[in-house]
């Protein structure tokens, strides 16, 4: 049996929760004939990512339009992953919802925040592993994929499918990092290589979803790609073109240990890494 995975790339309406929710409904409707098992949307998609959007379009999980959207998912059998800015306990989290058949399976909060994120979002260390369609899977968001550790934790917990929603929208001229400037294209290549590296080293299928933004101030080209466990990009979004990118995999890939078996790694080595991390200069 096979697993069909879809990931969407397209425009976002900043600070317009209802318009973005309508777009998600539209895409779900358009993909009904594809018989997708999973469909992923970008980071913070329901709110947008500007400071104003995070403040004004962040909502709690019991927000009635969101509750209704979750209920509607009982009409199909696709696992839907949607990014939002979530209000909870007086804080705002960068959250990815995991929805299936009328139920909220759970949420993931972005673990490693950028300097920009930290101005508006809170973070935690709750990294859940979800299970649906007989497959264990996890989520890490955007900057999380600049580091192996969040995804590695999920892999040790049994996840073999990794969703990596992004909101990569940066100035066309790039941005400063210390004593140099990273160009838009340099950053793009690095981000895509990060996804391939996670897929290869952790033996996970990696599914990225990203926005398309074309303004004088920011560019986001989509690149909603899918990588197999060898790090090969098996399906790629056309830059700056709205579309759903799909790939199909043998279900056994997600339930059987890869021949490069993680049990070959001595647990003592992991203890050594943890100790070195505590001793690393901060």
CA distance 117 to 55: 12
Tens of each residue's pLDDT in the chain, 282 residues: 899 999 999 999 999 999 999 999 999 999 999 999 999 999 999 999 999 999 999 999 999 999 999 999 999 999 999 999 999 999 999 999 999 999 999 999 999 999 999 999 999 999 999 999 999 999 999 999 999 999 999 999 999 999 999 999 999 999 888 889 999 999 999 999 999 999 999 999 999 999 999 999 999 999 999 999 999 999 999 999 999 999 999 999 999 999 999 999 999 999 999 999 999 999
pTM: 0.97
**Neighbouring residues of 146: CB distance < 8 A, sequence distance ≥ 6:** 112, 194
- Assess contact for 120 and 58: CB atoms under 8 A: no
Domains of the chain: 2-279 (3.60.110.10)
Nearest CA to 11 out of 185, 220, 246, 239 is that of 220
């Amino acid at each position: 049996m096979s697993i069909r995975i879809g990931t969407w790339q397209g425009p976002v309406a900043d600070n317009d929760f209802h318009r973005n929710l309508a777009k998600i409904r539209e895409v779900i409707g358009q993909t009904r004939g594809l018989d997708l098992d999973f469909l992923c949307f970008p980071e913070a998609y329901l709110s947008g990512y500007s400071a104003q959007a995070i403040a004004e379009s962040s909502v709690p999980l019991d927000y009635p339009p969101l509750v209704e959207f979750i209920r509607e998912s009982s009409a199909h059998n696709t696992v839907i992953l949607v990014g939002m800015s979530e209000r909870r306990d007086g804080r705002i989290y960068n959250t990815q919802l995991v929805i299936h058949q009328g139920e909220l399976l759970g949420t993931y909060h972005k673990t490693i925040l950028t300097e920009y994120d930290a101005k508006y979002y809170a973070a935690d260390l709750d990294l859940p592993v979800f299970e649906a369609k007989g497959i264990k899977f996890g989520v890490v968001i955007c900057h999380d994929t600049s580091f192996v550790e969040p995804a590695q934790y999920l892999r040790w917990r049994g996840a073999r499918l990794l969703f990596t929603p992004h909101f990569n929208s940066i100035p066309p001229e790039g941005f400063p990092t210390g004593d140099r400037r990273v160009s838009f294209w340099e950053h793009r290549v690095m981000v895509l290589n990060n996804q391939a590296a996670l897929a290869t080293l952790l033996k996970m299928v990696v599914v990225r979803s990203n926005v398309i933004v074309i303004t004088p101030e920011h560019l986001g080209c989509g690149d909603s790609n899918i990588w197999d466990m060898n790090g090969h990009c098996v399906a790629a979004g056309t830059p700056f073109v709205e579309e759903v990118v799909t790939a199909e995999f043998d279900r056994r890939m997600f339930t059987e240990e890869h021949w490069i078996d993680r049990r070959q790694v001595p647990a003592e080595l992991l203890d050594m890494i943890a100790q070195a991390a505590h001793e690393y200069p901060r």
